[in-house]
Structure 1
Amino acid sequence: MSAILIRGGTVVNGDRSVRADVLCDGGVVRAVGEGLTAPAGAEVVDAGGQLVMPGGIDPHTHMQLPFMGTVTMDDFFTGTAAGLAGGTTTIIDFVMPGARQRPLEAYRTWREWAEKSAADYAFHVAITWWGDAVHEDMGTLVREEGVTSFKHFMAYKNAIMADDETLVRSFRRALELGAMPTVHAENGELVFLLQQEMLVREISGPEGHPLSRPPAVEGEATNRAIAIAGVLNVPVYVVHVSCAESLEAIARARAAGQRVYGEALAGHLVVDDSAYRSPDFATAAAHVMSPPFRPKEHQEALWRGLQAGHLQTTATDHCTFCAGQKAVGRGDFTKIPNGCGGVEERMAVIWDAGVNTGRLTPNEFVRVTSTNAAQLFNLYPRKGLVAPGADADLVVWDPEGTKTLSVKTQFSKGDFNVFEGRTVRGVPTHTVSGGRVVFARGDLRAERGAGRYLKRPAFNAVTEALGRAASRRAPVAVKR
């Protein structure tokens, strides 16, 4: 692995920007400063007039996911390779145990699948049922495997939905272990009832999807998850916040001092629910994801949430199904596999709709696309930062570069792009992952299996270490 010198750019971190070169060697950032000299044999990247930022972290992806009777088009190689083309160098994917399957068994399956990953990766593990085996596996996953976040689906009744008992017991176990509970907040009982009502009324096309999942069902579940977390005094992270009702619940809790964190999807920030009314079934079905895309006023609320700090991260819920897979739900929208893409487009979409409009500063952009996720999920300062000692995961960003997003030019294996035809200003020219240039001006050089699994320390590890150190100290005699 040769050294890399990124010369002449402006380094943009979450806290400040500075004109500097960046020297990487051995997969690590070695120096950040002006006038750095390239070692013999080093690769030099000219970043003149461009920005050098931490590689993006997408904390919500589903690569190679078996779901609703099929499997997503992007596996861990193609999906992470597409992410690298868009400046995302780390993903946090989801392990999804089957019915009554032990979480540790499912985790081992996902680890095997992910060995082909082109970018670094970590996992959240879903808790879909409760028993002594789950209690035990959570301990093993945290202490031995470095999994420090657990997912709870409050939707998908008769499948992976976690009931309130499971939420309570899992949240408490997470607190004991120093792990973070995360929730997909939709009231699964209400969704199931509304779905059946839509079908009785002969609303069977994709337009029935948002009608069966109105904002109120997301708001209720968000409030309930926050209340449970508040009683147990455990932090909670709400994934893919899509509506004002959910955002308001998070903002209220944070104002009261509760540790609640929220995530916005790039799609929810710029795509609205008009897509479900398309006369073309394939187009409407391609937008079916949960929670659904919302009316435009909810987009404005989400942007305000990012600006105010009530939402800390941006993600994609990258989960690609092709038209043939979606067609299974023709005549019954409840059978359309839920999911859209976006890991490749996220950073450009958020820069264009956020920084170019004045909603976000470049430093805030770095925070919501990388740094905050690194800090919330215990990857910082290894990730989310351009500084000596950090991983050499970087993106060289041309704020004036333009690109029209399209399924015709994407690297993802999905056959639809929810941002189709959107021209963005602000694009990556180079991506460095693990100290290697893996994308350079349209040339994707992703390597199968180059990604590393990231073990994350428990959130209480530092506190416990300090406590152990204190207990080993000899008592000090105090003279009076």
Structure 2
Amino acid sequence: MSILIRNGLVVNATGTHAADVLVQDEKIAALVTPGFPLEADTVIDAAGKYVIPGGIDAHTHMEMPFGGTQSADTFETGTTAAAWGGTTTIIDFAVQAKGTSLLSTMDKWHEKADGNCAIDYGFHMIISDVNDASLKEMEACIEGGVNSFKMFMAYPGVFYATDGEILRAMQKARETGSTIMMHAENGIAIDQLVAQALAEGKGDPVQHGLTRPPELEGEATNRAIQLAKVTGAPLYIVHLSAAQALDAVTAARDTGQNVFAETCPQYLYLSLEDMARPGFEGAKFVASPPLRPKEHQATLWRGLRTNDLSIVSTDHCPFCFKDQKQLGVGDFSKIPNGMPGVEHRMDLLHQGVVKGELTVNRWVEITSTTPARMFGLYPRKGVIAPGADADIVVYDPIARQTISSETHHMAVDYSAYEGMEVTGKVDTVLSRGRVVIADGTFHGGAGHGKFLSRELNQYLI
């Protein structure tokens, strides 16, 4: 099966040029001068549109258990929604419960995802139980293609790891070349602030943000960086939201330390004010770290331009407002933490191009190319080049659309960006050479997506 994408503007992280793209079966076979005589089974006209590598969302939580419920998207619904938004690969988190093994956890997540994904997928491993056995199992996880391990400085009693446990895991990461990913918030101090707020009768959703101040994200980020420096381990800060945390990352990177960070669209576009919406509406915006005051947003955009923020992922962890978010009525600490976003990441970040915050090449870099390199998928993914997987998005940069829960494809009953008008829209999506989105219709299906066994981080020095 061959497909020829004609008349488009190919956009890679390294440059932009007019070219026709020939796809043969699952791979990109050639880039040729526009109009060069080629025949194919199917021809796609991309005139006036970008031809970009499929997006890679390196931070999702499908079917994730949390607070007595689980995130609303299954691997099938979540990966289908991702495809609608131009994302052709996700990396999801396998969640180790205390008292279980890493390998049994990995097997459980394979069972959840296998045969159910519409696009390709990989896993990170969450380590919540650090001991001799789990440290040894990190080696087996790496052999199984899972070589990034997330830890938490938040959520005492659930995921929280002590500094000593973090140190031990980082030593193993240094030994194996794997990467430690860190949720950096001072959970011990936060729990005290939460208890104090509830004791004072302050149970509204906005208290979630007020009891998790940005200073405690900055402190934890710096502490994680120092532990990484002592051990020599690579460190990746997930969902960075605060200027204080970015300052710590920037300082470490300026010294040449292997420290990387991602942010998420919600921290670029939403704020603490959204959590203070009337009634219980603010619960829709409860995630951790919380949304910050608006003044943090300009700092994060600057971090994306300077590459102190390397990637934009979604932390897609959707809980329906009805019955799930409402578990926390009167007690913000019981609101399931997480927001939907996997479908709209590419469009939201394209607004940065429209507004002059990012170049079009940087847009591709932070949404596709850097995730591919950071998590061992490049050059198979993240680039329009011969030999790469034919994960391709034809993107209309001038089309207009309005984001709404009435039209999105995520299995959640609200949109965090309800009514937001954006410029740019996915036209056609190929996943490994198969057209999965075209003409406003989903042509894919569960089971097309394959598990990706990943190599090590390509940015380590």
Amino acid aligned to 2:127: I
Q: Match for residue 301 of structure 1?
A: 299
Deviations 1:353-405 (A, max 9, x none): x1011111110100011101111111100010000000000111111011100
**2:315 pairs with 1:335:** no
Task: Give the C-alpha shift of residue 36 in structure 1.
Answer: 4.3
* Counterpart secondary structure, 2:8: strand
Give the C-alpha shift of residue 38 in structure 1: 4.6
Corresponding residue of 1:114: 113
What's the offset of the Cα at 1:280?
2.6
Could you tell me how far apart the structure 1 residues matched to 2:362 and 2:238 are? 19
Matches of 2:160 and 2:91, distance apart in 1: 21
Spell out the pairing of 1:270-289 with structure 2 (5 A cutoff). 270-281=269-280, 283-289=281-287
- Paired residues of 1:93 and 1:122 also in contact (CA < 8 A): yes
Please tell me whether residue 266 in structure 1 is matched to residue 265 in structure 2: yes
Match of 1:405 in 2: 403
Give the structure 2 partner of residue 466 of structure 1.
none
Contact 1:191 1:213 in 2 (8 A): yes
Please state how far the C-alpha of 1:157 moved relative to its aligned partner.
Answer: 0.9
What residue is the counterpart of 1:414 in the other structure? 412
> Retained in 2: the 8 A contact 1:128–1:166?
no
Q: Is 1:12–1:366's contact at 8 Å kept on the other side of the alignment?
A: yes
The structure-2 alpha-carbon separation of the partners of 1:175 and 1:37, relative to structure 1 and needing over 3 Å to count, comes to: farther
Query: Residue deviations 1:427-459, cap 9 Å, x none?
Result: 111111111111113212231011010001235
Q: Secondary structure of the residue that 2:7 maps to in structure 1?
A: strand
Q: Where do residues 187-198 of structure 1 align in structure 2 (5 Å cutoff)? A: 187-198=186-197
Take 1:137 and 1:233, find their aligned partners in 2: how far apart are those partners?
A: 20
Q: 2:288 aligns with which of 284, 287, 290?
A: 290
Partner residue of 2:438 out of 437, 440, 444: 440
Q: Say whether the 8 Å CA contact 1:130–1:166 is kept in structure 2.
A: yes
Q: 1: distance between equivalents of 2:367 and 2:178?
A: 22
Q: Which residue of structure 1 lines up, in the alignment, with residue 217 of structure 2?
A: 218
Residue 368 of structure 2 aligns with which residue?
Answer: 370
Find the aligned partners of 2:300 and 2:457 in 1 and give their Cα distance.
28
Q: In the alignment, is residue 380 of structure 1 matched against residue 375 of structure 2? A: no
Contact 2:173 2:234 in 1 (8 A): no
Corresponding position of 2:179: 180
Counterpart mapping for 1:48-447 below 5 A: 48-115=47-114, 116-143=116-143, 145-281=144-280, 283-323=281-321, 324-352=323-351, 354-447=352-445
Unaligned runs of 5+ in 2: none
Shift of 1:37: 4.3
**Rounded Cα–Cα distance in structure 1 between residues aligned with 2:334 and 2:442:** 35
Q: Using the alignment, how far apart are the partners of 2:129 and 2:413 within structure 1?
A: 34
SS in 2 for 1:218: helix
Length, aligned pairs only: 457
CA distance in 2, matches of 1:8, 1:298: 40
Counterpart secondary structure, 1:263? strand
The one-letter code sitting in structure 1 at the alignment partner of 2:125 is V
Q: Secondary structure at the match of 1:123?
A: strand
> In the alignment, is the contact (CA less than 8 A) between 1:383 and 1:393 conserved in 2?
yes
AA aligned opposite 2:277: S
Stretches of structure 1 that go unaligned for 5 or more consecutive residues are: 464-480
CA positional deviation for 1:31: 0.5
- The 1:441–1:294 alpha-carbon spacing in structure 2 relative to 1, beyond 3 Å, is farther
Q: What letter is aligned with 1:77? A: E
Distance 1:246 1:97 in 2: 26
- Indicate conservation of the 8 Å contact 2:96/2:129, yes or no: no
- Report the Cα distance in structure 1 between the residues aligned to 2:38 and 2:294, rounded to whole angstroms: 49
Matched-pair contact (CA < 8 Å) for 2:375–2:456: no
CA contact (8 A) 2:373 2:457 kept: no
What secondary structure sits across from 2:191 in the alignment?
Answer: helix
Letter of the structure 2 residue corresponding to residue 210 of structure 1? G
Relative distance call for 1:374 and 1:254 in structure 2 (3 A) is same
TM-score by length of 1: 0.93
Deviations 1:305-346 (A, max 9, x none): 001110010011101111211111111111110010111001
Amino acid at match of 2:138: M
The DSSP-based 3-state class of the residue aligned with 1:365 is helix
Task: Say whether 1:5 aligns with 2:18.
Answer: no
Task: Tell whether the 8 Å contact from 2:206 to 2:272 is kept in structure 1 after alignment.
Answer: no
Q: What residue identity is the alignment partner of 2:68?
A: G
Q: Give the conservation status (yes or no) of the 8 Å contact 1:77–1:118.
A: yes
When structure 1 is superposed on structure 2, of 161-170 and 51-60 the one drifting more is 161-170
What secondary structure is seen at the aligned counterpart in 2 of 1:290? coil
Shift of 1:21: 0.6
TM-score for the superposition, normalised by structure 2 = 0.97
